Chains A and B, each alone.
Chain A
């Protein structure tokens, strides 16, 4: 498999008037084409920072990130970012919301529009294209946010706690939903989460980071024996608990 994201020796130190914050310490890992990788770690350990660096929104203090073998400078069209909340603009219709990316990138062609409409059709939002976000349920909104990310055609999806604003039931459903969409569209995905179950159930590999400064603690290859590899059915797999306990221990959570 082709390496798609190569993170090598990334360090990040934030400067602030109150001193320096060492957020990431010498992070290296590789994500291959079509893989689904999760990053877990205690809150404040630098997960969002790491995603921002991968996307090119932030420059690391040292080290580098290669996307398809090329160093990335500035926000890359190869990546699509999904934030914790859907951030659909309440003054735009769903169709205009999902076109935001191509509009900003000045590639709002009739084909892009067609593609957006097709996504909306395929993923059950077509009837809502002229509705406003407030008329949609939380799950539908998150799907619309994913479509907005997909329309500019990124190859790599970066999801920053993209599900944590949803209530538990919706979250399970949206996990399933989005996982299947990402697989169907054959994207490479990196998901940041602090939900261990979510990480195990969705991923091929789980990267565990330590407390701040975030250091790479362990990378787990997730192999689950379940008939259909979907997040919900994976939660039933016998190995699930074993992974859970191991990652729980590594996270070293004190209350």
Chain B
């Protein structure tokens, strides 16, 4: 609020910081620092402990792997020139599945909101599909589509689509009816209700759906790769398990964790970007 100085009302102006307030802010900062430091410490302790126990032969690194071996494995994969290929394959599949699931889910939710008849007809199907474990459909997709990246993406869609639809629809239903009436009082059309009220008002639900979807897309892709693929992190995990190379399995899991975290942060970044564009950013620390 750079222009707050021009506002006469005293409640809007920001007063000079008092000593007590400075003290309070300091305390908040220290608290945040403390939380971060503890988080880092836990991570470091786990890694060090893992490494030491393996070196002292208290745990068997053949079964548990160990941090130094993971780093070595990453190096080997890199030298063989396949590291980024595997990461790339999985990431591309995930991102395509994620985007398709999100866009298709939002569009489907809009269709359900638009036509009450359509929504009533679809209800039992949505309920059944929502409770069905979608992974059970994996073999069906492979037979229908063939073992390949497309089947993996379809698997991802199957897992994330219904959840997205329900989450976004829930957001639509939570919009105040009076806000919709307001648009009608100006003679607004149904399409205008959608664009002026429904979509912006349910932005938090849509973001929530995105966050859920990030996780689900990874599940879909990894399951898909377990079932069909010749490349990707899921493939490395299955392959490593079959030939008893736990280093390879653990390495893939670690990379997977990092990639998933980056993608989640991407969504958080997108959320903040849109909120900032609308000047509504109140939350300063992202919760992750």
CB-CB nearest in chain B for A128: B7
Partner of A55, one of B185, B188, B196: B185
CB-CB nearest in chain B for A80: B185
Contact between A57 and B7 (Cβ–Cβ < 8 Å)?
no
CB-CB nearest in chain B for A75: B187
Which secondary structure characterizes the binding site on chain B? helix
Q: Is B178 an interface residue (CB 8 A)?
A: yes
Contact between B186 and A100 (Cβ–Cβ < 8 Å)?
yes
| Chain A residues positioned under 8 Å from B176 (CB to CB) | 87
Question: In whole Å, how far is B174's beta carbon from the nearest beta carbon of chain A?
Answer: 14
Encode A87-112 as 1/0 by CB contact (under 8 A) with B: 10111110000001101110000000
Contact between A87 and B178 (Cβ–Cβ < 8 Å)?
yes
Chain A interface size band reads 20 to 34
Q: A55-B185, A57-B184, A104-B188 are in contact. Are A87 and B203 (CB under 8 A)?
A: no
Query: What is the number of contacts between chain A and chain B, taking CB atoms within 8 Å?
Result: 62
> How many angstroms between the C-alpha atoms of A57 and B186 in the bound complex?
10
Tally of chain B residues near chain A (CB < 8 A): 26
Contact between A87 and B7 (Cβ–Cβ < 8 Å)?
no
| Chain B residues positioned under 8 Å from A80 (CB to CB) | 185
Q: Is A85 an interface residue (CB 8 A)?
A: yes
Partner of B184, one of A75, A93, A135, A137: A75
Question: In whole Å, how far is B9's beta carbon from the nearest beta carbon of chain A?
Answer: 8
Q: Is B16 an interface residue (CB 8 A)?
A: no
Contact between A81 and B12 (Cβ–Cβ < 8 Å)?
no
Q: Is B200 an interface residue (CB 8 A)?
A: yes
Q: A105-B187, A135-B12 are in contact. Are A91 and B200 (CB under 8 A)?
A: yes
> How many angstroms between the C-alpha atoms of A80 and B187 in the bound complex?
10
> How many angstroms between the C-alpha atoms of A57 and B278 in the bound complex?
31
Partner of B196, one of A81, A84, A104, A152: A104
Q: Is B192 an interface residue (CB 8 A)?
A: yes
Contact between A152 and B186 (Cβ–Cβ < 8 Å)?
yes
Q: A89-B197, A91-B200, A91-B280 are in contact. Are A84 and B178 (CB under 8 A)?
A: yes
Contact between B203 and A91 (Cβ–Cβ < 8 Å)?
yes
Q: A91-B203, A93-B279, A132-B280 are in contact. Are A104 and B179 (CB under 8 A)?
A: no
Q: Is A20 an interface residue (CB 8 A)?
A: no
CB-CB nearest in chain B for A136: B12
CB-CB nearest in chain B for A57: B184
Partner of B279, one of A74, A77, A103, A132: A132
Question: In whole Å, how far is A233's beta carbon from the nearest beta carbon of chain B?
Answer: 26
Contacting B at CB under 8 A, from A49-95, are 55, 57, 74-77, 79-81, 83-85, 87, 89-93
> How many angstroms between the C-alpha atoms of A84 and B201 in the bound complex?
19
> How many angstroms between the C-alpha atoms of A135 and B280 in the bound complex?
11
Q: Is B54 an interface residue (CB 8 A)?
A: no
Q: Is B181 an interface residue (CB 8 A)?
A: yes
Residue among B184, B187, B196 having the largest count of chain A Cβ atoms under 10 Å: B187
Q: Is B87 an interface residue (CB 8 A)?
A: no
> How many angstroms between the C-alpha atoms of A127 and B7 in the bound complex?
7
Contact between A87 and B280 (Cβ–Cβ < 8 Å)?
no
| Chain A residues positioned under 8 Å from B3 (CB to CB) | 130
| Chain B residues positioned under 8 Å from A100 (CB to CB) | 182-183, 186, 196
Question: In whole Å, how far is B178's beta carbon from the nearest beta carbon of chain A?
Answer: 5
Contact between A101 and B280 (Cβ–Cβ < 8 Å)?
no
Contacting B at CB under 8 A, from A115-135, are 127-128, 130, 132, 135
Q: Is B128 an interface residue (CB 8 A)?
A: no
> How many angstroms between the C-alpha atoms of A128 and B6 in the bound complex?
10
CB-CB nearest in chain A for B176: A87
Contact between A91 and B278 (Cβ–Cβ < 8 Å)?
yes
Partner of B186, one of A85, A105, A127: A105
Partner of A83, one of B11, B12, B181: B181
> How many angstroms between the C-alpha atoms of A75 and B187 in the bound complex?
5
| Chain B residues positioned under 8 Å from A105 (CB to CB) | 186-187
Question: In whole Å, how far is B270's beta carbon from the nearest beta carbon of chain A?
Answer: 16
Contacting A at CB under 8 A, from B196-233, are 196-197, 200-201, 203
> How many angstroms between the C-alpha atoms of A90 and B278 in the bound complex?
9
| Chain A residues positioned under 8 Å from B184 (CB to CB) | 57, 75
CB-CB nearest in chain A for B200: A91
Additional A-B contacts beyond A83-B182, A83-B185, A89-B197 (20; CB < 8 A): A55-B185, A57-B181, A57-B184, A75-B186, A80-B185, A81-B182, A89-B196, A89-B200, A91-B203, A92-B278, A100-B183, A100-B186, A104-B183, A104-B187, A105-B187, A127-B6, A130-B3, A132-B279, A135-B12, A152-B186
Top-4 shortest CB links A-B: A81-B185, A75-B187, A104-B186, A104-B188
Q: Interface on B for A, CB 8 Å cutoff?
A: 3, 6-8, 11-12, 176, 178-179, 181-188, 192, 196-197, 200-201, 203, 278-280
Residue pairs across A and B with Cβ atoms less than 8 A apart, 10 shown, are: A57-B185, A76-B187, A80-B185, A91-B201, A91-B203, A91-B280, A104-B186, A104-B187, A135-B12, A152-B186
